[in-house]
Amino acid sequence: MAAQSAAPRVLVVEDEPNIRELVCLHLRHEGYTCEPEPDGAAALKRAEAEPFDLMVLDVMLPGLDGLSLCRAVRNGRINADVPILMLTARREESDKVVGLESGADDYLTKPFGVRELVARARALLRRPRRS
Ligand code: CA
């Protein structure tokens, strides 16, 4: 982190436009560079092509679901150690476990407060990257 001077780049993968725009608005307000992406498969292509500092992934996505996307990113080369925050509409404990087992670092259940999301994003960006 010490050598990092550019704004953290966050990939936000969410197909619901209102949530995507709200999340990006607040992340940008926080000083981050936000890259919005509505489609899971397109998001994976981006994750395989360029490094990100954080990813916010919705579970229910067109193209490729968020859990599969999370696993694919973890098994990829460029963003294998990126912090990942999962979003889901489901509340069941088992879904939370599946999310964390698929390689997510943190988890938010919809409806969530955007200030909580920003606080968790900030915490994930402060964490040392796994290696
Ligand atoms: Ca969705």
Each residue's pLDDT expressed in tens, for the chain with a length of 131 residues:
445 558 999 999 999 999 999 999 999 999 999 999 999 999 999 999 999 999 999 999 999 999 999 999 999 999 999 999 999 876 666 777 777 788 999 989 888 999 999 999 999 999 877 65
Residues 81, 51 contacting (CB under 8 angstroms): no
What is the SS3 assignment for 34?
strand
Cα 131 to middle of ligand 1, angstroms: 30
What is the distance between the terminal CA atoms of the chain, rounded to a whole angstrom? Answer: 14
Residue 18: Cβ-neighbour burial (10 angstroms; 0-12, 13-18, 19+): exposed
The reported pTM is 0.90
Ligand 1 midpoint to CA 125 (Å): 24
Q: Cis peptide before 111, with omega less than 30 degrees from 0?
A: yes
Run of H or E residues at 49: helix 40-49
At 95, list the tokens: 């879904």
For residue 48, the CA-to-ligand 1 centroid distance in Å is 21
Rounded distance from Cα 42 to ligand 1 centre (Å)? 14
Distance 51 CA to ligand 1 centre (A): 23
Answer yes or no: are the C-beta atoms of 72 and 64 closer than 8 Å: yes
